[in-house]
Amino acid sequence: MAAGHSVEPARWKQSFDGLMGRLTGRFARVEPRRRAARLVLGLRSDLPRKNCWTIAEWAGEATPYGMQHLLCRASWDADAVRDDVRDYVVEHLHDDEAVLVVDETGDLKKGTCTVGVQRQYTGTAGRIENSQVAVYLVYAGHRGHAAVDRELYVPRSWTADPDRCQAAGLDEDIAFATKPELAARMIGRFLDAGHRAGWVAGDEVYGGNPRLRATLEERGAGYVLAIACSSEVIATGGKFRADALAAKVPKRAWQRLSAGAGAKGHRFYDWAVVDLTAPGTGHRQLLIRRSRTTGELAYYHCWSPASVPLPTLVRVAGSRWRVEETFQAGKGLTGRTSGPPLHLLVPLGHPRHARPRLPCRGPGR
């Protein structure tokens, strides 16, 4: 029933109906709720191009106006739906060893009116393009993985222009937040809702942010966050660059371990770990990954309330790739802006985890 796992259509239908039933009270009228269900089913269909026109036609509607009304003007509580989906995912995929993965993905856009759009780097294209970027929180456990939260990244070029924000339907007093700050906000929501996850994983955008790391340590959440080779860490003997410390690791310290199964089988790398020293509680380590074919190194700043074995750190580090695969698996869903988490509903029970898109809310979008 979860993204990344194939399921029988009847089982998925039962799961989807159960979720939509839970969301009944979040819509002011029954018509938007039913249309939301049709829209989500259209998003997970095999339509080669997905927008309000094609999905409306697929759903048997004569015009796209109903779908557009749902996304732009209908009354429903997007944040409450987000929370319901999160609770539903944790309920059905509950895993005491689950990992919260923070990652970002972008949508290429034309023009300047889509909320948050500007020329910025996006992994979708692998370069700087006119795009919209969002940060996602994914719950990854042994039974599956699915997106449970989202935050649109609104660049300074937007937050410094109240008139532009107002024209797009954003609050005039919206404040700029970095991607690590958005990640901390989503993780805080998850934990404040009473859910638990032992670990957080993310790439260098998040691992290189000391404030995010400190926030996670204060919450008692262990993390395995990628860092740049030039990042400095404190070990016995002083402060070192990550790559300089890796050069001191003896040959006998490397272990061949799998970071998880991929499309072509298990991903085996050589791994080593170095204990770090720093003020505060907990156990701090530098995890080093070495490619068995190219010798390329990758580095992870790790912290846990108590000491954990190397295979545990490797498992957490490998969880991030599952999320990247989900973004690639469901390319083609469309949407525009920041509000409703319909994209969070799509992956539940689907054999392909939908690449997140952001349907629009508000005037002028």
- Please state, for a pLDDT cut of 90, what percent of the chain lies above it: 49
Q: Which one, of 357, 304, 321, lies nearest residue 138 by Cα?
A: 321
Q: What is the pLDDT of residue 268?
A: 95
Residue 363: φ, ψ to 5°: -70, 150
Nearest-angstrom CA–CA distance, 292 and 269:
6
Q: Which one, of 337, 341, 336, 334, lies nearest residue 78 by Cα?
A: 341
| 4 HSE (CA, 13 A, CB side) | 22
pLDDT tens, residue by residue, 186-221: 999 999 999 999 899 999 999 999 999 999 999 999
Those residues with Cβ within 8 angstroms of residue 120's Cβ, 6 or more apart along the chain or in another chain: 106, 128, 129, 131, 133, 155
- Helical H segments across 208-309, by residue range: 210-218, 242-246
Element (H, E) at 255: strand 255-262
Nearest-angstrom CA–CA distance, 155 and 178:
8
Alpha-carbon dihedral 221, 222, 226, 228, rounded to 10 degrees: 90
Element (H, E) at 329: helix 310-329
Residue 128: φ, ψ to 5°: -75, 125
Q: 9-27+76-345: CATH homologous superfamily? A: Transposase Inhibitor Protein From Tn5; Chain A, domain 1 (3.90.350.10)
Nearest-angstrom CA–CA distance, 314 and 349:
27
Q: Which one, of 355, 350, 354, 348, lies nearest residue 9 by Cα?
A: 350
Do 159 and 176 meet the contact criterion of CB atoms below 8 Å apart?
A: yes
pLDDT tens, residue by residue, 42-92: 888 888 888 889 999 999 999 999 998 888 788 888 888 899 989 988 998
Q: Compute the mean pLDDT over every residue in the chain, rounded to the nearest whole number.
A: 84
Alpha-carbon dihedral 105, 135, 85, 167, rounded to 10 degrees: -100
Pairing of strands 222-227, 297-304: antiparallel
pLDDT tens, residue by residue, 110-152: 888 888 899 998 877 888 999 888 899 999 998 888 889 989 9
Per-residue pLDDT at 342 exceeds 70? no
Total count of residues recorded for the chain: 365
Those residues with Cβ within 8 angstroms of residue 40's Cβ, 6 or more apart along the chain or in another chain: 16, 342, 345, 346
Per domain, the residue ranges of the chain are 9-27+76-345
In single-letter form, the type of residue at position 13 comes to: K
Tell me the sheet residues that pair with 257: 269
Going 201 to 196 to 323 to 132, the CA torsion angle's sign is negative
Question: Whole-model pTM?
Answer: 0.85
pLDDT tens, residue by residue, 239-248: 999 999 999 9
Nearest-angstrom CA–CA distance, 271 and 310:
8
pLDDT tens, residue by residue, 96-120: 899 999 999 888 888 888 888 999 9
- Using DSSP, how many helices (H) and how many strands (E) does the chain show? 13, 12
Q: What is the pLDDT of residue 56?
A: 93
Nearest-angstrom CA–CA distance, 94 and 362:
35
pLDDT tens, residue by residue, 243-271: 999 999 999 999 999 998 877 788 999 99
Q: Please report which confidence band the pLDDT of residue 171 belongs to, taking 50, 70 and 90 as the band edges.
A: confident
Q: Treating both helix axes as pointing N-terminal to C-terminal, what angle do 30-43 and 9-22 enclose, rounded to 10 degrees?
A: 150
